[in-house]
Amino acid sequence: MFKKPKNSPWGEIDFFETLCPGVFMVIAPGRGGTMVSKDMAAVLSPAARKCGFKYGGYICFDEDSQEDIVFRELLDKKLWAIPDRIKDKAAYEENINNTLREHHPDYWRARRRGIEQARPAPVPVQKDR
């Protein structure tokens, strides 16, 4: 259904990995990042989409710190799991969070607000009369 990208904003693609349908981590000579097909972009929050840039039919996120936004979004939505090759998954996830807090504070705040708003309101306890 989703086609792998043929080229990237970072150059010719040497390697790619499908993170979930329509989301590709790509490596080009010396650079890379994550490319989200326009048809799959709806799974990203509006705050996440603002952090990427358009290239062809994709929203792209540079490997330096932007692609952690995609990783965080996919983890939150259970569309991707940290690969088994990563031994300390908790440390890896905390590294993602630290990168986002430091380099993308607006995104991080929007994400936190969204999580808080998604929590169900507490149900008042009725007392017997």
39 in a domain, yes or no? yes
- pLDDT attached to residue 16: 94
Residue 8 lies in a domain: no
Q: Report the alpha-carbon distance of residue 41 to residue 116 in Å, rounded.
A: 22
Tokens of 74: 């996919």
Judge whether 56 lies within some domain.
yes
d(CA 37, CA 42): 10
Residue 87 lies in a domain: yes
Give a yes or no: residue 10 inside a domain. no
Structure tokens at 23: 């989301």
- The model's pTM is 0.87
User: How confident is the model over 1-16, as pLDDT tens digits?
Assistant: 678 898 999 999 999 9
Mean pLDDT for all residues in the chain:
90
Residue 5 lies in a domain: no
Predicted confidence (pLDDT) at residue 128 exceeds the cutoff of 70:
no
